[in-house]
Structure 1
Amino acid sequence: MHLLQESTKQETFENRQIVGQTIKGSEILTESGLVSVHGIYYRYILNNGQAVDVQDDYTIIEANGNILTLEPLK
C-alpha cells in the first residue's frame, strides 16, 4: 500500500494533462515570462537556456509546481 501512495503523489494535473504537449512559440508571453496552457498561466524555463523563438514549436517536458520546462522542437 505504501508504494501505491508514493506513486500517486507524483501524479499531478500538470504531469497527467500538460507534460508532453506541444505549444507554439507565438503563444509564449516573453514580456511577462508566462505561458498559457488550457487557460492556466504558468511560468516557464527553456531547457536550452536560449531566448524564445516565436517561429518555433516547443514541447513541455517537465512540470514542477507552477513552472514548466520547455524544449524546442528542432
Structure 2
Amino acid sequence: VVSRLVEATAMLQQQLVEEKASRQKAEEFPQQEQKRTNEESHDFRDNVEKADEEENRKNGEKWCAIL
C-alpha cells in the first residue's frame, strides 16, 4: 500500500511539474507577442513622425522658394 502511495505521489508530482511548465510556456507567448506589438507600434510611430517631419521640411522649402 505504501509503495502505491509513493508511486502515486511521484506521478502526481511529475504531472504537476509538467503542467507548470506548460502553463509557463502558455503565459510567455502572449507576453512575447505584446512586446513585439509594442515594438512595431513604436517603430510605426517613429516612421510616421519622420515622414511628417520630412513633409514639413519639403513644404517649408517650397514655401520659402515661393517667397
TM-score by length of 1: 0.24
- Bigger share in helix: 2
- Bigger share in strand: 1
